[in-house]
Amino acid sequence: MELADLRTLVSVMEAGSITAAAKELNRVPSGVTTRILQLEEELGVQLFLREKKRLYPTDKAHTLYGYARKILAMMDEAEDRVRGMVPGGKFRIGALESAAAVRLPEVLARLHAGYPQIALELVIGTSRSLYEDMLENRLDAAFVVDMPEDDRLERMDAFAEELVVIAPEGHSPICCPDDIGRKTVLAFQGGCAYRNRLVNWFRAFGREPERIAELASYHAIVGGVIAGMGVGAVPESVLHLCRTEGILSVHPLKHPLCTATTELVWRRGMLSANMTALRQSLHRQDA
């Protein structure tokens, strides 16, 4: 197998079709098809099922795809080192919505200004989904909370966050779960680190949330609280993006579970030029 074969396979898998992959690779579709057929012949396996001009990857294609992503990432890192660690090319960063909205704009703007040759791609997800994306090499770096200990990853502290409960204006102080009572808690979907911390806060008092309503964004949570759907759990920094004065009350929980650190994580041994530039941008923010 040649690296060009692996790049072709990765492009077809991610683009979803020969035509889209050919456009991404700046090649003619027939050339991409020939590469895939030659790869199948060399390996002696069928990588794609072909039905009505559509391709469906087999289990063997998914397996090879995982290895191809790792090999290509290592080759990119090797090229960076040989060329003197010059940042550039595609750089895939994952982040929680709160970090992407509040913490990262300044950092990424500084990174882009210093290294305009980096093509940034930002993916929003929960800590769980971003962790899985890191292990599957779908991301080069991620900003997450409560990432499991994993020897395959390296990490550094990025931001400190405080989890607060928001309620309608005039709500009595919230210091423990009994102060929330049977009200619905508005939170992100399962896999959200802040939601998990809030549930654990309830359990630290021997309680469980009466009901959790899952919403897709912090703006939706804020809007739901304003509409009287219940109380919401959000990082305090998110409130800087919303006009909450006079319509919401904010309740710091003052519990160790409600102080969280957002970490920057990346694959162990994959400290590329782009990763180094991102870390430097973070350090300059702290200066």
Among the candidates 22, 54, 82, a domain finishes at 82
Number of domains in the chain: 3
The DSSP line for 196-211 is HHHHHHHHHTT---S-
- Residue 224 tokens read as 């739901």
Residue with tokens 């595609």: 90
**57: containing domain:** 3-82
**How confident is the model over 108-141, as pLDDT tens digits?**
999 999 999 899 999 999 888 999 999 888 899 9
Do 244 and 189 lie in a common domain? yes
CATH of the domain at 60: 1.10.10.10
- Residue 68 tokens read as 């191809």
**How confident is the model over 168-213, as pLDDT tens digits?**
988 999 999 999 989 999 988 777 888 999 999 999 999 999 999 9
Q: Which residues contact 160 (CB under 8 A, 6 or more apart)?
A: 259, 260, 261, 262
CATH of the domain at 231: 3.40.190.10
What sign results for the dihedral spanned by CA atoms 107, 157, 97, 151?
A: positive
User: What pTM was computed for the model?
Assistant: 0.69
Among the candidates 82, 106, 141, a domain finishes at 82
